[in-house]
Chain A
Amino acid sequence: MSGTDASRRRFLAGTAAAAAGLAVAPGVLLMPLAQARRAGEPASSDVRWGLLVDTTRCSDGCDACVRACKEENGWEGVGRPKTDAQWIRKVKVRDPRTGHTQSLPLMCQHCKHPPCVDVCPTGASMKRADGIVLVDKHICIGCRYCMMACPYSARSFVHEDVRDQREHAPRGKGTVESCTLCVHRVDAGRVPACVEACAAEGGGALVFGDLKDPSSEISRRLAAHGAEEIRADLGLDTGVRYYGI
């Protein structure tokens, strides 16, 4: 069996599974969030991927999303916290006046107007048609201007040699990296690893979906309950929104 056949078969299997919807109750259809795009089809601007964080369901002690991301994308560090990469982190927010505390995950906010993309001299920082902000490590020169520009400290610089990367998450010394919204999963019709982990082990605080599709769960939740952007004052129109902050 040739490699091509194997890939095609795997790909078809994925598509078939993704296409299958399953009715679990009248009116409730258990169906995949998005269908895998067909081979050869580019990401479309008819879609804008977004993530809703329901902070009321996110607890301080839980880091399921962080662990899942580490595992999925292979960015386990070498024990040097200041230089090790962090694609996603849990942030504790406390109001000093009232003592009210909250916990929430912070990662690349996949802005509509990403400052990192604006400042990148080579165009390595880029936004895909479907709104996912990525680093094209093929042309990243490691100038770190994007890290200066990001309001969320969402990016990490790879400070040392990396080996045994995950197949779908290339990362290497001297380049900058950040959350990819698990673009490899999204393209295959699956949700990001953090979302999956939060549903399975965490509080089910993460909702992933198409912000442009008014019938998607994320759009409905946003329409019904609203949500905030972090540093909304900057007008970046982030793809990650937070409910309850």
Chain B
Amino acid sequence: MKPHVHFREIEGRSPGYYALLGLLGLLVGAGLVSALYMEIEGHWVTGMNNRIVWGTPHVFAVFLIVAASGALNVASIASVFGRLQYKPLAPLSGLLAIALLVGGLAVLVLDLGRPDRLIVAMTHYNFKSIFAWNIFLYTGFMAIVAAYLWTMMDRMGRPYSKPVGLLAFVWRLILTTGTGSIFGWLVARQAYDAAIMAPMFIVFSFAYGLAIFLLVLLAAYGWTGRPLGEGLLRRLKNLLGIFVAASLYFVTVYHLTNLYAAEHTGVERFILLEGGIYTALFWLGQVVAGYLLPMAIVFSPLGRSRGWIATAAGLVVLGGLAQMYVTIIGGQAYPLILFPGKEVSSSFFDGVVADYAPSLPEVLLGVGGIAIALLAVAVAVRVLRFLPEDLRDELVEAQAAAGGGDGSGTAGGERSGGAAPEAAAAPGSAG
């Protein structure tokens, strides 16, 4: 019998596991209470106002939605691009994609002025709105990825793995195009109104999704004590470095293009030089923490250490949140240009940089969204066979060489005898 990767639920009986669930549950609860508070009191209790209409919840929500589509990449690399070494990671990739999207959408919906009217958003559509399209793109994404998971995890679904995988890949590209276009198609705002927003968001999604994937993978295998091959990690962290470099490239092109047009030098001066918190977040958060440090880590000898890989991935996540803050809130803080070349002032804060400071409920709601995603993953890997119990390189390579294990019991749809005994008898210290 040839060796193959075998999927099994995590045991999930350790105090560490329950502590993790408890912590995440607490964060989810805090997020929900915050949302309720904002809905009952009205949004004046948040940092938002009539100039900054999308605040911290949107930073988290858009980050999660973008990361969700990127998290699916690992699965796509296996089934669309035929890199079979990634195949054992595909189920976790699909799971994360759905979980992150649910977390992001929860934040988005709970920050609506009238979340009680969600049903209206499902029954009234304006098809000229990219938002309305996104409702279909998001729900469609969940359905397609669920089907994709089925093709990975159930013997009956396996023959459809390739076409469904291809559909999921194309769909996620369209989805992130939709997310980027939410901003790219806003003609009135100096910081947006750029076709590059869509492809730039796609590249961001590659980086953010993979960073979160790496963090979850390292945590899951570290805490359960399951073996995880160095070769696999090396490939993933190199890929992360490439995605981060590509992000930096797109950001550079975006800003250079704006700098070239006299019309846009105002907003560029604001973001790059004089924007206070936004300038600091751009240079220190997005560029240094989000791009330069992670690249330095993964492409240097430091990248051999798991701790440093996790650090790099964590930095990419922080850089991503900083990028969203600069894009979403910085983009609104810069005043609309009503009369080019003129100074304007009014009781409605025309012509001045808008004030915004995140409020506690907004931050709690955003963090609650991340907690929803992670809680869903923690529970799912406990009850379904998402995680291979052994990801040693020899095993992964052998299976890839044997054709990725199509139809040979890779996925956890069935439990075949003779596999390695459960390596993780008791999950180690969680958290």
Residues of chain A whose beta carbon lies under 8 Å from any beta carbon of chain B: 80-86, 89-97, 106, 115, 117-124, 139-145, 147-153, 155-161, 173-176, 230-231, 234, 245
The reply to whether A121 and B345 form a contact with Cβ atoms under 8 Å apart is no
Kindly report which residue of chain B lies nearest to residue A91, judged by CB atoms: B346
Known: A84-B50, A143-B112. 4 other contacts (CB 8 A): A89-B348, A145-B131, A149-B188, A174-B113
Say if the beta carbon of B347 comes within 8 Å of chain A. Answer: yes
Report if A139-B50 is in contact (Cβ < 8 Å); known contacts: A80-B44, A120-B129, A145-B131. no
B188 to A, closest residue via Cβ: A151
Interface centre among B53, B135, B345 (most CB of A within 10 A): B53
Among the stretches B116-124, B243-251, B279-287, B388-396, the one at the interface with A is: B116-124
- Tell me the bound Cα distance from A147 to B53 in angstroms: 7
Question: Count of B residues near A, CB < 8 Å?
Answer: 51
A122 x B42 contact (CB < 8 A): no
CB distance from B76 to the nearest CB of A (A): 28
The answer to whether A161 and B42 touch (CB under 8 A), given A122-B124, A151-B336, is yes
Residue on A with the closest CB to B351?
A: A91
- Asked if A90 and B121 make an inter-chain contact with CB atoms under 8 angstroms apart, the answer reads no
The reply to whether B50 and A141 contact each other, CB–CB distance below 8 Å, is no
Query: Cβ of A90 and Cβ of B43 under 8 Å apart?
Result: no
Residues of B within 8 A of A174 (CB): 39, 42-43, 112-114
Is B114 within 8 A of A175, CB to CB? Answer: yes
Q: How far is the CA of A94 from the CA of B349 in the complex (A)?
A: 15
Within 8 A of A (CB), among B128-156: 128-132, 134-135
Chain A CB within 8 A of B344 CB: yes
Whether the pair A147, B50 counts as a contact (CB closer than 8 A) is yes
Answer yes or no: B2 CB below 8 A from chain A CBs: no
Q: Determine which of B39, B42, B121, B336 lies in contact with A121 in the assembled complex, contact meaning CB atoms within 8 Å.
A: B121
Interface string of B65-76 (1 = CB under 8 A from A): 000000000000
Can you sample 15 A-B contacts with CB below 8 Å? A89-B347, A92-B345, A94-B345, A121-B125, A122-B120, A140-B117, A141-B121, A145-B129, A151-B188, A152-B336, A153-B50, A157-B53, A158-B42, A173-B113, A174-B113
A-B contact count (CB 8 A): 172
Nearest chain-A residue to B122 (Cβ)?
A122
Once the chains are docked, how many angstroms separate the CA of A124 from the CA of B120? 10
CB distance from B274 to the nearest CB of A (A): 17
A residues less than 8 Å from B118 (CB atoms)? 141
Classify the secondary structure of A's interface with B: loop
Beta-carbon contact of B344 and A91 below 8 Å? yes
Check B344 against A122 for contact (C-beta < 8 Å): no
Residues from chain A with Cβ under 8 Å of B83 in the complex: none
The residues of B that contact A115 with a CB separation of less than 8 Å are 186-188
When distances are taken between beta carbons in the complex, the residues of chain B under 8 Å from A150 are 188
Contact B44 A152, beta carbon cutoff 8 Å: no
- Using Cβ atoms and an 8 Å threshold, which residues of chain B touch A124? 124
Which residues does B use to contact A, with CB under 8 Å? 39, 41-44, 48-51, 53-54, 112-115, 117-118, 120-121, 124-126, 128-132, 134-135, 182, 185-189, 332, 336-339, 341-350, 355
- Chain B neighbourhood of A91, CB < 8 A: 338, 344-346, 348, 350
Cα distance, A147 to B336, chains bound together (Å): 12
Task: Determine the chain A residues whose CB is within 8 A of the CB of B125 once the complex forms.
Answer: 121-123
Closest Cβ–Cβ distance, residue A112 to chain B (whole Å):
15
Q: How far is the CB of A91 from chain B (nearest CB, A)?
A: 4
CA A175 to CA B124, docked complex, whole Å: 16
B69 to chain A, nearest CB (A): 19
Asked whether A157 lies within 8 Å of B347 as measured between CB atoms, the reply is no
Identity of the chain A residue whose Cβ is nearest the Cβ of B193 in the assembled complex:
A234
Tell me the minimal C-beta distance from B337 to chain A in angstroms: 8
Query: In the complex, A123→B135 CA distance in Å?
Result: 14
List the A residue with the shortest CB-CB distance to B347: A89
Within 8 Å CB of B114, what residues of A? 140-142, 174-175
A95: which B residues are within 8 A, CB to CB? 341-343
- A144 to B54, Cβ gap below 8 A? yes
Residues in B neighbouring A93, C-beta threshold 8 A: 338-339, 342-344
Q: In the complex the two chains form, is B186's CB within 8 Å of A94's CB?
A: no
By the criterion CB–CB under 8 Å, are B347 and A176 in contact?
no
A140 and B113 contact, Cβ closer than 8 Å, known pairs A153-B50, A230-B339: yes
- Check A148/B53 contact, CB under 8 A, given A139-B120, A174-B113: yes
**Contact flag A86-B347 (CB < 8 Å), given A121-B126, A142-B114, A152-B338:** yes
Note all chain A residues with C-beta closer than 8 A to B336: 151-153
